Structure 1
Amino acid sequence: MATIAPDLKAELHTDRANPHWVRLDGDHKLDHIPGEDGWPVMGTTIMQLSDPIGFQQRMTETYGPVYRTRSFGRRGVNLIGAEANELVLFDRDKLFSNEQGWGPVLNLLFPRGLMLMDFEPHRADRRALSIAFKPEPMRAYCGVLNTDIGNAVDRWGGPMQFYDAIKALTLDTAASSFLGLPLGPEADVLNKAFVDMVQASVGVVRRPLPFTKMGKGVAGRRLMVDYFGKLLRERRTNPGQDMFSQFALATREDGTLLPEDVVVDHMIFLMMAAHDTITSSATVLFWQLAKNPGWQERLRAEARAVTGGDGLPVGYDDLGQMELTELAFKEALRFMPPVPNMPRRALRDFEFGGFRIPAGTNIGISPAAAHADPAHWPDPERFDPLRFTPENVAGRHKYAWVPFGGGAHMCLGLHFAYMQVKLLVSHILTRYEVTMQAGRDPSWQAWPIPKPRDGLRVELRRIC
């Protein structure tokens, strides 16, 4: 069990509003960690944002799996590898704070999302919200998604920007299954608010000044709070089978309803996560299927076998039969995880990789780095869903693949993500062959959520 070293006690301060919050005074406490502080004022921020993968590879090759950086005005330590993922995500000794790790990035935009909560408050809200992901609600979502996805993709075809089409579709399906209503003309306004909020998370200016990314993101949040606040009051009066109704009626262990502002914050965060992360992951999957037509045909054959024909819905009870599709989705998540890096903050001293790391240190781990480690993934640039067969998984470090996080903070909606992607694969591949121009791989924006800069230009050739 890690403890606070005597020589640091005088420099650690507790915030009375949050007894877990600690501050480390003096950047010199990290001088013994190898790494770089970067440029004056900006530190390593621009280098990390402009080429995060290249920067991370260079730092690991130069300094090893434990290295120091200074970004967004703060010194921090990055821990790279499956063992680091296990230490931080499993967090056996409750050493790390999600709230204080994600807070400086997201607290003006997505406060009180499950990802930003710690320990007992996190456990209590997660338990209350989990009702929305029980089998019966999930069965209802499956029916709604089948209808919406089928109707939408049936209108597709020809050359298109796949990312943009999937982003619009996932927002519509999130509205139907999460909110129980079609968005209609408000979709563009809400989509812009989500985009502004996500982009603000990596804005260099961290105050919501006019015309800055953070200023636009905070304005987007105000719009979302107003929209969801009005809808919540309606749902508590007249609930439906949608996810928001489940949240609106969720209770804590004492039987009380979750407060209105808490439900609104959770809903905004989950809408963002379902909307943007599924868009990113589905785009990666279809990019790879376009490049690997053999795998595309295998998934098409599986979907036809499960549904009994082209363009037919997938029954909720049949989702488990789409085993190859699940393997392919897992490989897409390995290839480019939707959350490439995860921040935490150390609440107490700990040791890792031969270094003592003091309480108050900003910690970063990298799913993207672990997913590309040839020690766990031979030929990591090759798309190979068979990496996830049971026999291959059995011999691999459990934390070498962590696209959904891990431990107490494992993504609450991961089964919803699997379901939605399986439905997308079935409805698209039983209608179309997905192709792209040979040798025309897109350039990807890695932060804050990966997306192709050209929108992923593909052609959908109708086959039914």
Structure 2
Amino acid sequence: MTDVQADAPFGVREAPHHRSWPVIGSSLAYIRDAHTFLRRLYERHGEVAKIDAFGTQCHFMLGPDANQFVLQNRGNLFENARWSYFIGPFFNRGLMLLDFDEHRLHRRIMNAAFSQDALLGYFERMQTTIDAELSRWDAGECLLFKRLKAMTLNIGSEVFVGQKPGDDADAINDAFLDTVQAATGLIRTAIPGTRWNAGLKGRKLLEAHFKRAVPAKRANPGPDLFSRLCEARTEDGELFSDEDIVNHMIFVLMAAHDTSTITLSNLVYQLAKQPVWQERLREECRAIGPGALSMTDLERFEDTSLAIKETLRIAAPVPILPRGVTEECVFKGVRLPKGAMVAVTPWMTHHMPEWWDEPQRFDPERFSAARAEDRRHPFLWTPFGGGAHKCIGLHFGMMEVKAILHQLLLRFRFSVPDGYVMPQDFTSLPIPKDRLPIRLERLN
């Protein structure tokens, strides 16, 4: 057994077991309000607590020290493959589900698809799509989440697949939503009417969609991610198999458009609630100008960058990061047995009043150089994870959010009714439960 905490007290204890309902455990408490559930778990049990949920048992590890211990993963004590329990049938062999040497091999190949040159090509194409999408938007009341999700999927199709969405665009979007929401299904078998069954059907549709396209991409590659994966070779000259290309395309397209949609939805909501900040960012966009952005322009979004960081703090797109324990170890005197599932929680850490000033308040300046609250601990702000599995698409995501928000702010003013509070749906990734009803006012 490895003791990796020098400050651990003498003796080793088991994690306190948070008792809940038979069979379903804490599943419903988490889905109903993950934020409140995680805070109460911490207040009652401290930094480590064992819970029963979603048909399994998990050691929740709470706070920035736990984030650092797990995400740095010194000695390869934790494996990412434990994600497979939740999303394996739907995102088989996606990069996030691979470990150690195999993960390093696949990540090294995929790095070329997210290089600076590749990002420049994606950036140019995405701006054309954003302009076309927003030109079709009407002013007035709308469900913003649905509009943003359709737009980010269209951007992903243009940038990653190299083609405009076809007649099956709505089916593809629904399939991605079904595969993501299946992760926390209480019934984990293919019974009609369950989220699990819908997820399996969604995976089948996505798999067929990309498999059909592989031969043409290999024969006539372009500048898109799909083509790059078809052409990518290892140091030994090996190509990705068709199956691996399909697996990576499904996972990357899901991760890219879902996380950007969540971030944009929460950001627009906060700006609708905070009109002073909305106007402040609009003035920054006007100063940069209405034309096509360059990569250099992205560095000029100073206030916008602060607002995006604060949004990622308040609503981390991936609220919990599960891992499997490969070797029994100890964290602050608590035993983590080999084979156990553990989970660190960016969402919980990002709302801890022990570390953040008024954590429930939207306050982008907390990330300014003068205050730098996020630097109080190296693993306090972790919306992109950390360590070897830190999100490979984080620069793409930040680029996409800035590009969309820039054009959105120059075209529309947005508002919500006084007193409106957006409800979060924690069924899987956090999305607006009501799909964010918002009012758009055209500016030009």
TM-score, length of structure 2 as denominator length: 0.95
Aligned with residue 253 of structure 1, among 230, 235, 238 = 235
Alignment partner of 1:420 out of 400, 404, 411: 400
**1:462 and 2:442 matched:** yes
| Residue of structure 1 in register with 2:2 after alignment | 2
Which residue does 1:344 correspond to in 2?
323
Give the structure 2 partner of residue 22 of structure 1.
none
Matched position secondary structure for 1:430: helix
Q: CA deviation at 1:395?
A: 4.0
Instruction: Provide the residue aligned with 1:390 in structure 2.
Output: 369
The change in CA–CA distance for 1:31 and 1:398 in structure 2 (over 3 A counts) is closer
**Residues 18-47 of structure 1: CA distance to partner in whole angstroms, max 9, x if unpaired?**
xxxxxxxxxxxx993212242222222222
Q: Which moved more, 1:118-127 or 1:216-225?
A: 216-225
Q: In 2, distance between residues paired with 1:267 and 1:184?
A: 17
Residue 391 of structure 1 and its aligned partner are, at CA, apart by 4.2
Distance 1:3 1:399 in 2: 20
Q: Secondary structure of 2:418's match?
A: coil
The residue identity in structure 1 corresponding to 2:392 is L
Q: How far apart are the structure 1 equivalents of 2:425 and 2:347?
A: 14
Amino acid corresponding to residue 383 of structure 1 in structure 2: F
For residues 159-178 of structure 1, what are the structure 2 equivalents within 5 Å?
A: 159-178=141-160
Report what 2:351 is aligned to.
372
Q: Matches of 1:119 and 1:324 in 2, distance apart?
A: 38
Unaligned 5+ runs, structure 1: 5-29
> Which residue matches 1:321?
300
Q: Does 1:224 align with 2:203?
A: no
Question: How far apart are 1:225 and its partner, in Å?
Answer: 1.0
**CA contact 2:60–2:344 (8 Å) conserved in 1:** yes
Secondary structure of 2:42's aligned partner: helix
Counterpart Cα distance in 2 of 1:255 and 1:208: 40
5+ long unaligned stretches in structure 2: 5-11
Distance 2:213 2:198 in 1: 23
Provide the secondary structure at the position in 2 that maps to 1:390.
coil
User: Which residue of the partner structure matches residue 380 of structure 2?
Assistant: 400
Residue number among 183, 186, 190 corresponding to 2:168 in the alignment: 186
**Aligned partner of 2:105 among 119, 124, 134:** 124
Q: 1:32 aligns to what? A: 14
Aligned length: 435
CA distance in 1, matches of 2:293, 2:356: 32
Given that residues 281 and 338 in structure 1 are in contact (C-alpha distance below 8 angstroms), is that contact kept between their aligned partners in structure 2?
Answer: yes
Using the TM superposition, give the Cα deviation of residue 3 of structure 1 relative to its aligned residue in structure 2, in angstroms.
Answer: 7.6
CA contact (8 A) 1:337 1:368 kept: yes
Counterpart for residue 330 of structure 1: 309
* 1:145 aligned residue: 126
What TM-score, normalized by structure 1, do the two folds share? Answer: 0.91
Distance 1:165 1:448 in 2: 20
Matched-pair identity in %: 38
Distance in 1 (alpha carbons) for counterparts of 2:23 and 2:116:
51
SS in 2 for 1:43: coil
| 1:68-100 CA distance string (max 9 Å, x none) | 11123322211100000011111122110110x
Instruction: Output the amino acid matched with 2:315.
Output: M
Whether 2:263 is the aligned partner of 1:281: answer yes
Indicate the SS of the match to 1:364.
strand
Task: Give the equivalent residue in structure 1 for 2:426.
Answer: 446
Q: Partner residue of 2:48?
A: 66
Deviation of 1:61 after TM superposition, in Å, equals: 1.2
Alpha-carbon offset, residue 185 of structure 1: 1.4
Instruction: Look up the match of 1:53.
Output: 35
Cα pair 1:35 1:59 within 8 Å, conserved? no
Report the residue type matching 2:93 in the other structure.
Answer: R
Q: 1:168 and 1:55 mapped to 2: Cα distance?
A: 31
- Counterpart CA distance in 1 for 2:188 and 2:285 is 46
Does structure 1 residue 207 correspond to structure 2 residue 189? yes
Distance in 1 (alpha carbons) for counterparts of 2:424 and 2:365: 25
Secondary structure of 2:206's aligned partner: helix
Name the counterpart of 2:8. none
Q: How far did 1:461 drift?
A: 1.1
* 8 Å Cα contact 1:198-1:448 kept in structure 2: yes
Contact 1:345 1:361 in 2 (8 A): yes
Cα distance between partner residues in 2 of 1:172 and 1:76: 37
Per-residue CA distance 1:249-268 (angstroms, 9 max, x = gap): 11112111111101110110
Instruction: Give the one of 198, 212, 221 matched to 2:180.
Output: 198
Is the Cα contact below 8 Å between 1:177 and 1:243 reproduced in 2? Answer: yes
Does the 8 Å contact 1:3/1:348 carry over to 2?
Answer: no
Q: CA deviation at 1:159?
A: 1.4
**Native 8 Å contact 2:13 2:335 kept in 1:** no
Structure 1, 319-328 or 205-214: larger mean CA deviation = 205-214
Give distance in 1, aligned partners of 2:244 and 2:59.
32
Distance in 2 between residues matched to 1:118 and 1:66, nearest whole Å: 24
Per the TM alignment, residue 218 of structure 1 is displaced from its structure 2 partner at its CA by 1.0
Q: 417-426 or 72-81, which moves further after superposition?
A: 72-81
Letter in 2 for 1:271: L
Query: In structure 1, what is the Cα distance between the partners aligned to 2:18 and 2:443?
Result: 54
